[in-house]
C-alpha cells in the first residue's frame, strides 16, 4: 500500500496535551516536517518556553532544553555559542517572548545570535487560564481584562516582528498565520527560510505565527480561526519584515 | 614560579587553566577585573566571552552552555547574584555543572561596593526557590582563589552541581603572589546527558519540570542523596592552634585573615586562642567543630555581617559550649584590635 501521509520523524509518537482546535499542533508539525526535509533532526537542539508549549520536548524528537519563563533566547545563546555548527531553535509564546522575555529576545536579535525563533502569538496567556497578554488586542476580553483591553490603563499590543526587524542583527523576520491551508503552507515556507537563514549563518531569524486559543478565547475552533483572520491580521499584518539577500 | 596577581584576575586565569572556555556576565563592581581579564584572554585560547544584557540572561546562557556540555562560568556581586537566583534554581534542578562567582559587597538593596559577607544565607541556604544546595567555596587568599576555582570546576562536574565561589571586594582587589601548580587529573563521570544533537542516540533533555508530584518527589530525593554524599565527603576547613585552645574563633574569607592577625598577637600574649576557618561554607565543616566543642570554653564567630554563619556554628556546637558573635557590616571590616578585645572578654583571665 502506498503511504500518502505519515508522522514526521521529528515528531514523537505520543498523545497531545494541547486543547482541541489549538493551532500549536499545526506549528509543531510544520517545524518537524522542516527538520525532516532539511535533515537536521539529529543535529538540532530545541528550547521550550514556559507556557502551553513547555511540554514541546515531549513532541519534538530531537535534543531539547526547557528554559525559565522568557529566557529561551538566552539559553539558546548559551547552546549555540558552545555548538556553533548545530541547529538551535526556540519555541515561545507571547507571554514568554513579548512580556517577561523582551530583554532576552531583543538582545539575542541585536547580537545577531544565529538561532531560529518560532513565536506563537495567540493574543492570550493559555497555560495560566486566559489572562491578558502583551499582544492582546484593544478591546479583547480576557480573564484580566474582563471589560476588554483598555489602552488607557493597559496600553497597546506589542508588534514584535516590526520591532525586531529594525535591528541590524536580525537576518530573517516574518509574520505568518495558520488560519487556513494557504496560510499554513506559507507559514511552512517562512519557517523553513528561518532555519535556512541559521544554517547559512546569516544571523537571527524569527517567524511570528498568529495562532488561536479556542479554549481561552471561549470560541468554537472554527470561529476562532475566523476571529483570527478578521481581528488579528488587521492589527498584525502578515509578511516578511526582513530577509537576508542570499536567502530565496 | 610565582607571579603577582589581583584576586579577580586570578579567578579568570585559574578558570582558563581549568579548561573553562565560556563566560557570560554583566558588569558590576567590585568584580569587573574578572570579566575584563577574560574578555582580553579568551580570544588567545579560543574561549567565548559574552557580555549579556542582564544577570538574568547571563545565568540562563550558563544554563544553555552547561547543558551543551561546556565548562562555563559567570560572575557578579551581591545585587547581581540576587538577580541570578532564578537561573541558579533551574541549574541546580537540572543538575548542570557550572561555576558562579560572587565577589560580595555590602547590602541589602544596592548597598555599597565595599567588602561584605552578608550573602552567606543566600549562598548556603538556597537563595532561589526549591530544595537545592550549591557547593560554596570561600577562599581567603589569592593563592587559595586559584586553587579553589580549579577545584570548583572538578567538583561541579563530579557532582553535576553548580559551585559558588564566594569572595568579597577586598579579596577581589588585593594583589598577592600566586602559583599555578600542576594538578592531578581526577576521574570525572562521562557527560553523556548533554544536549549536543542526538546523532544516533535517544533524545537528551535538560529539564526542571515534572508535573507528576511523585516524580518530582523522587527527583528531590535523588538530589538530597547527592547533597548528603557531598556533606559527607567534601567538608573542608583550616584548623589553626585549636588543640590547647580555650576560645576558638570561627571565621572565613577576609574576616579570617583579620582574625589570624589578632590570633598571632593574642598567642604572643599567652591567650589560648585557636581558629577554625571554613573553606567550604556548604557543606559547612561541622565535623571539625564537633571535634572541638567539648574541649573549649567558648566559640566566637566573626563575620562581616550582623551574624549569619553563626547559626551554623551554633548548630554544630549543639549547645555544648557558648557561641558568641562579633561582626561589622555594610562594607566595614573588623580590625585586629576589635577581635583581640572580643577574644579577651572570653579567654580565662579576661573580664567576661
This model of the complex carries an ipTM of 0.96
Residue of A nearest to B65 (CA): A78
Instruction: Give residue B349's pLDDT band: very low, low, confident or very high (50, 70, 90).
Output: low
The answer to whether the Cβ–Cβ distance between A67 and B70 falls below 8 Å is: no
Cross-strand partners of B3: B178
Which structural domains are found in chain B, ordered by start? 3-183+211-233 (3.40.50.970), 237-346 (3.40.50.920)
Assess A97–B contact: CB distance below 8 Å, yes or no. no
Instruction: Give residue A7's pLDDT band: very low, low, confident or very high (50, 70, 90).
Output: very high
Assess A17–B contact: CB distance below 8 Å, yes or no. no
Do the bridges between strand A131-132 and strand A124-125 make them parallel or antiparallel, or are there none, so unpaired? Answer: antiparallel
CATH architecture of A24-242: 3-Layer(aba) Sandwich (3.40)
Residue B242 has pLDDT above 70, yes or no: yes
Report percent pLDDT > 90 for chain B. 96
Determine which of A10, A68, A78 to mutate to test the interface with B (most B C-beta atoms within 10 Å). A78
The answer to whether the Cβ–Cβ distance between A42 and B200 falls below 8 Å is: yes
Q: Are B275 and B241 in contact (CB under 8 A)?
A: yes
Grid coordinates belonging to B265: 598577637
**Shortest CA gap B71–chain A (Å):** 10
Question: Which residue pairs, CB below 8 angstroms and at least 24 apart, start in B261-268?
Answer: B261/B336, B262/B336, B262/B337, B262/B339, B262/B340, B262/B343, B263/B343, B265/B336, B265/B340, B266/B340, B266/B343, B266/B344, B266/B347, B267/B241
The answer to whether the Cβ–Cβ distance between A65 and B58 falls below 8 Å is: no
Do the bridges between strand B98-104 and strand B22-25 make them parallel or antiparallel, or are there none, so unpaired? Answer: unpaired
Assess A45–B contact: CB distance below 8 Å, yes or no. yes
Residue B351 has pLDDT above 70, yes or no: no
**Shortest CA gap A42–chain B (Å):** 5
How crowded is residue B297: how many other Cβ atoms within 10 Å of its Cβ? 15
Assess A105–B contact: CB distance below 8 Å, yes or no. no
Q: Are B223 and B94 in contact (CB under 8 A)?
A: no
The answer to whether the Cβ–Cβ distance between B60 and A75 falls below 8 Å is: yes
- Helix ranges restricted to H, B234-297: 253-268, 286-292
Per-residue pLDDT tens digits for B154-174: 999 999 999 999 999 999 999
Residues 6+ apart with CB under 8 A from B252: B117, B138, B140, B277, B278, B279, B281, B303, B309
Residue A223 has pLDDT above 60, yes or no: yes
> Residues A37, A38, A40, A46: is their CA dihedral positive or negative?
negative
Per-residue pLDDT tens digits for A97-123: 999 999 999 999 999 999 999 999 999
**Shortest CA gap A169–chain B (Å):** 15
Q: Which pLDDT belongs to residue A1?
A: 84
Considering only CB atoms, which chain B residues are within 8 Å of A83?
A: 68, 196-197
Instruction: Select from B93, B52, B70 the least CA-distant residue to B15.
Output: B70
Residue of B nearest to A70 (CA): B57
Distances (CA, A) of A237 to A176, A194, A210, A240: 9, 18, 10, 10
The answer to whether the Cβ–Cβ distance between A61 and B204 falls below 8 Å is: no
Instruction: Give residue A247's pLDDT band: very low, low, confident or very high (50, 70, 90).
Output: very low
The DSSP 8-state label assigned to residue A228 in this structure reads I
The DSSP 8-state label assigned to residue B203 in this structure reads P
**Shortest CA gap A240–chain B (Å):** 27
Grid coordinates belonging to B91: 541549574
The answer to whether the Cβ–Cβ distance between A65 and B206 falls below 8 Å is: yes
Sheet containing B22-25: give its strands across.
Answer: B48-51, B22-25, B72-76, B98-104, B162-168, B135-137, B280-282
Give the separation between CA A44 and CA B54, rounded to whole angstroms.
Answer: 27
Q: Which pLDDT belongs to residue A232?
A: 98
Nearest to A104 among B22, B57, B86 (CB): B57
Give the separation between CA B199 and CA B197, rounded to whole angstroms.
Answer: 6
Nearest to A44 among B197, B204, B209 (CB): B197
Instruction: Select from A53, A94, A104 the least CA-distant residue to B63.
Output: A104
Instruction: Select from B236, B8, B235 the least CA-distant residue to B105.
Output: B8
Strand (E) positions, B191-315? 205-206, 237-240, 247-250, 273-278, 280-282, 298-303
Is residue A91 exposed (0-12), middle (13-18) or buried (19+ Cβ within 10 Å)? buried
Instruction: Select from B316, B312, B272, B277 the least CA-distant residue to B296.
Output: B272
Considering only CB atoms, which chain B residues are within 8 Å of A92?
A: none
Considering only CB atoms, which chain A residues are within 8 Å of B60?
A: 67-68, 71, 74-75, 78, 104
Q: Round the average pLDDT of chain A to a whole number and report it.
A: 97
| Mean pLDDT, range A156-184, rounded to an integer | 98
Report percent pLDDT > 90 for chain A. 98
Distances (CA, A) of B88 to A120, A197, A244, B71: 27, 32, 37, 16
Between B259 and B347, residue with greater pLDDT: B259
Give the separation between CA B271 and CA B273, rounded to whole angstroms.
Answer: 6
Grid coordinates belonging to A180: 487556513
Grid coordinates belonging to B337: 584590635
Grid coordinates belonging to B206: 535538560
The answer to whether the Cβ–Cβ distance between A74 and B209 falls below 8 Å is: no
Q: Which pLDDT belongs to residue A246?
A: 46
Three-class secondary structure of residue A7 per DSSP: coil
The answer to whether the Cβ–Cβ distance between B70 and A82 falls below 8 Å is: yes
Please provide residue A152's backbone torsions phi and psi, each rounded to the nearest 5 degrees: -65, -35
The domains of chain A are located at: 24-242
Report percent pLDDT > 70 for chain B. 99
Give the separation between CA A133 and CA B241, rounded to whole angstroms.
Answer: 63
Instruction: Give residue A248's pLDDT band: very low, low, confident or very high (50, 70, 90).
Output: very low
Per-residue pLDDT tens digits for B131-142: 999 999 999 999
Grid coordinates belonging to A118: 518560532
Q: Round the average pLDDT of chain B to a whole number and report it.
A: 97
Grid coordinates belonging to A47: 528550547
Q: Which pLDDT belongs to residue B185?
A: 87
Grid coordinates belonging to A86: 548545530
The answer to whether the Cβ–Cβ distance between B196 and A45 falls below 8 Å is: yes
Distances (CA, A) of B1 to A230, B44, B180, B181, B252: 74, 22, 8, 9, 27
Three-class secondary structure of residue B49 per DSSP: strand
Amino acid at each position: 500500500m502506498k503511504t500518502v501521509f505519515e508522522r514526521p520523524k521529528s515528531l514523537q509518537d505520543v498523545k497531545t496535551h494541547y486543547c482541541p482546535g489549538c493551532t500549536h499542533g499545526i506549528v509543531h508539525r510544520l517545524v518537524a516536517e522542516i527538520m525532516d526535509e532539511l535533515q537536521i533532526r539529529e543535529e538540532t537542539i530545541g528550547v521550550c518556553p514556559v507556557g502551553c508549549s513547555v511540554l514541546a520536548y515531549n513532541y519534538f524528537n530531537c535534543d531539547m532544553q526547557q528554559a525559565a519563563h522568557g529566557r529561551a533566547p538566552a539559553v539558546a545563546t548559551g547552546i549555540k555559542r558552545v555548538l556553533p555548527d548545530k541547529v538551535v531553535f526556540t519555541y515561545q509564546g507571547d507571554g514568554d517572548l513579548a512580556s517577561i522575555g523582551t530583554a532576552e529576545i531583543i538582545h539575542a536579535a541585536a547580537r545577531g545570535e544565529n538561532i531560529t525563533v518560532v513565536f506563537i502569538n495567540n493574543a492570550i496567556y493559555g497555560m495560566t487560564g486566559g489572562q491578558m497578554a502583551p499582544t492582546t488586542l484593544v478591546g479583547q476580553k480576557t480573564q484580566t481584562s474582563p471589560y476588554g483591553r483598555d489602552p488607557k490603563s493597559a496600553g497597546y499590543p506589542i508588534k514584535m516582528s516590526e520591532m525586531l526587524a529594525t535591528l541590524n542583527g536580525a537576518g530573517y523576520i516574518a509574520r505568518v498565520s495558520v488560519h487556513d491551508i494557504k496560510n499554513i503552507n506559507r507559514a511552512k515556507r517562512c519557517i523553513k527560510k528561518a532555519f535556512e537563514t541559521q544554517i547559512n549563518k546569516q544571523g537571527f531569524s524569527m517567524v511570528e505565527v498568529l495562532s488561536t486559543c479556542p479554549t481561552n478565547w471561549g470560541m468554537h475552533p472554527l470561529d476562532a480561526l475566523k476571529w483570527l483572520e478578521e481581528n488579528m491580521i488587521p492589527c498584525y499584518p502578515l509578511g516578511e519584515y526582513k530577509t537576508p539577500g542570499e536567502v530565496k | 614560579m610565582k607571579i603577582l596577581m589581583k584576586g579577580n584576575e586570578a579567578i579568570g586565569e585559574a578558570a582558563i587553566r581549568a579548561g573553562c572556555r565560556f563566560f557570560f556576565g554583566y558588569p558590576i563592581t567590585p568584580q569587573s577585573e574578572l570579566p575584563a581579564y577574560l574578555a582580553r584572554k579568551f580570544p588567545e585560547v579560543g574561549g567565548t566571552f559574552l557580555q549579556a544584557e542582564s544577570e538574568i540572561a547571563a545565568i540562563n546562557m550558563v544554563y544553555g552552555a552547561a547543558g551543551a556540555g561546556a565548562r562555563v562560568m559567570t560572575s557578579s556581586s551581591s545585587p547581581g547574584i540576587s538577580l541570578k537566583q532564578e537561573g541558579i534554581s533551574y541549574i541546580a534542578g537540572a543538575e548542570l555543572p557550572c561555576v558562579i562567582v560572587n565577589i560580595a559587597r555590602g547590602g541589602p538593596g544596592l548597598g555599597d561596593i565595599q567588602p561584605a559577607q552578608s550573602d552567606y544565607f543566600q549562598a548556603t541556604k538556597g537563595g532561589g526557590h526549591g530544595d537545592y544546595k550549591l557547593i560554596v567555596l570561600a577562599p581567603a587568599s589569592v593563592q587559595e582563589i586559584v586553587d579553589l576555582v580549579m577545584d570548583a570546576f572538578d567538583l561541579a562536574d563530579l557532582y553535576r552541581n553548580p559551585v559558588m565561589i564566594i569572595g568579597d571586594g577586598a579579596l577581589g582587589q588585593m594583589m598577592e603572589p600566586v602559583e599555578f601548580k600542576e594538578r592531578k587529573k581526577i576521574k570525572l563521570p562521562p557527560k553523556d546527558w548533554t544536549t549536543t544533537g542526538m546523532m544516533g542516540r535517544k533524545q537528551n533533555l535538560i529539564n526542571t519540570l515534572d508535573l507528576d508530584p511523585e516524580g518530582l518527589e523522587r527527583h528531590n530525593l535523588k538530589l538530597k542523596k547527592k547533597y548528603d554524599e557531598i556533606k559527607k565527603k567534601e567538608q573542608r576547613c583550616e584548623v589553626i592552634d585549636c588543640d590547647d585552645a580555650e576560645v576558638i574563633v570561627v571565621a572565613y574569607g577576609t574576616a579570617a585573615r583579620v582574625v589570624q592577625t589578632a590570633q598571632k598577637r593574642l598567642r604572643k600574649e599567652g591567650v589560648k586562642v585557636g581558629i577554625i576557618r571554613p573553606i567550604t561554607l556548604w557543606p559547612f565543616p561541622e565535623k571539625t567543630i564537633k571535634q572541638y566543642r567539648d574541649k573549649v570554653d567558648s566559640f566566637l564567630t566573626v563575620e562581616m555581617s550582623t551574624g549569619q554563619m553563626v547559626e551554623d556554628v551554633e548548630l554544630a556546637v549543639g549547645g555544648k559550649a557558648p557561641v558568641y558573635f562579633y561582626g561589622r557590616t555594610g562594607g566595614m571590616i573588623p580590625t585586629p584590635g576589635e577581635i583581640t578585645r572580643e577574644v579577651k572578654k572570653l579567654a580565662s583571665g579576661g573580664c567576661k
